[in-house]
Amino acid sequence: MTVLVRPKALGDYKVREFRMLIDGKWVDGAEGRTIERVAPGHGVTVSRYQAATKIDAERAIAAARRAFDEGSWPRMTASERSLVLLRAADIIAARADELAFLDAIESGKPINQAKGELAGAADIWRYAAALARDLSGESYNTLGDGTLGVVLREAIGVVSIITPWNFPFLIVSQKLPFALAAGCTTVVKPSELTSASTLVLGEILEAAGVPAGVVNIIVGTGSEAGAPLTSHPDVDMVSFTGSTGVGRLTMTNAAQTLKKVSLELGGKNPQIVFPDANLDEFIDAAVFGAYFNAGECCNAGSRLILHRDIADEVTAQIASLSAKVKVGDPLDPETQVGAIITPQHLEKIAGYVSAASSDGATVAHGGAALDLGMGQFMAPTILSAVKPEMAVAREEVFGPVLSVLTFETTEEAIRIANSIDYGLSAGVWSRDFDTCLTIGRRVRAGTIWLNTFMDGASELPFGGYRQSGLGRELGRHAVEDYTETKTLNMHIGQRTNWWMPR
């Protein structure tokens, strides 16, 4: 049985109305259309946005272009930009409860999880502020008496930042502060499903002292508002997080003007477990990795690759612990798994479970949608007897569904882990550190957790191999991703005539 936390009515909650931020002004969309967001955990409208079109996207791009070419932000000292980012971090921390509430009601994530994400986001802004002052170039005094070489690192220019619905404030915080630290100007388009906290971020940045036009925020669909941000010639770089399919489209659009692209895409992340592992610790991590954010997480530990000797016992224990997971009202502090983002996505998740059952997998726990009286919810689900060729073992379900596969040898485990198109992250559990390092070095993924799962820090780079994306976010080089290098080759003293004889 799943522990249910039934949603309570929102009572006298008043729908939040939001406008777009373009060139330092809060404005309506060119066509005056709006987008309404229905809370996935409560089934009522909670937010209303102005819907951006191509016209609005082009207005925002033009504002960012002027701010970069003519404005003060790229020409400030690094210490001045750093101070603005630090002020923004302080305001984010002060408004964290408000921002967490908006993310919880719009995305369906548990409120306590949202608060944890806000704390992490504030830390990222502070880290970016520190990196702003660490950005530097190179000098070469080794090229002979007549030459001095200097390599400058300059802001790349106008950056389009496109973020998904599953971690609204956290993911924009993995991109925007680093772009700002480098001296870039930006157009930000959050998902039209979860835009509220990003729009409030616009207010925060105004209060922190970010000049007009440096950060522009529009809300709209990918086809209407997002596409111009990826193809417009005045945009110098696109930073996108979302599905692998839309990531491919983003690359195609950006190729029209050969702009730089950073992509953080999907994942189908394995946890490989050997018999000598600390199974109590692993079982807790398995449940967390599968159901965190209702599994709507590119980093979810959605594949368990268990040694055959322990597979049955471990699966039973995971099922037992899964039965204690509290599912329901995103605003209840006791909730661990909230709502599914849309009814259509819930249907997609259920379709994967049904197809796996038809293909021979066994539902060891859950397996169905939950009717809690309002909103849409999915029971934490475990599928055992999953084969590597099944769709549920290869494709990103993006829901609270855990697929259990088995192996006998280390080589087989590595082969299964690497047999799919993704390579975002992986975990390995063993008391033998040689085993852990072997897996860590041979599994092709951007992050490998050893005897833990889904830990992170602002200092550690994040990104994937293959169809999990291009580039890395976070880490000490994060600001450099938003820069270009320029070589100054300087001659010293009298220049020798070397082309035409005199």
Asked if 81 and 182 touch (Cβ cutoff 8 Å), the reply is no
Strand-pair category, 469-470 with 260-264: antiparallel
d(CA 242, CA 296): 11
For 25, the 3-state DSSP assignment is strand
For residue 337, the 8-state DSSP code is: B
For 62, the 3-state DSSP assignment is helix
Alpha helices in 137-192 (DSSP H): 168-173, 176-182
Question: What phi and psi values does residue 406 have, to the nearest 5 degrees?
Answer: -130, 160
Structural tokens at position 181: 């630290």
d(CA 468, CA 465): 6
CA distance to 118, 164, 214, 431, per residue, from 289 (Å)? 19, 20, 37, 20
Q: Which of 264, 296, 396, 473 is catalytic?
A: 264
For 135, the 3-state DSSP assignment is coil
Q: How many CB atoms lie within 10 A of CB 48?
A: 15
Question: What phi and psi values does residue 305 have, to the nearest 5 degrees?
Answer: -115, 95
Structural tokens at position 239: 């930073």
d(CA 326, CA 229): 40
Structural tokens at position 455: 């830990």
- List of residues 6+ apart from 347 with CB closer than 8 A: none
Active site residue 412: no
Asked if 207 and 89 touch (Cβ cutoff 8 Å), the reply is no
d(CA 28, CA 18): 9
Q: Which residue has the tokens 């539902």?
A: 363
Q: How many CB atoms lie within 10 A of CB 223?
A: 10
What beta strand segments (E) does 308-388 contain? 326-328, 362-365, 369-370, 377-378, 381-384
Axis-axis angle for helices 78-94, 196-208 (nearest 10): 130
As annotated, the active-site residues are 264
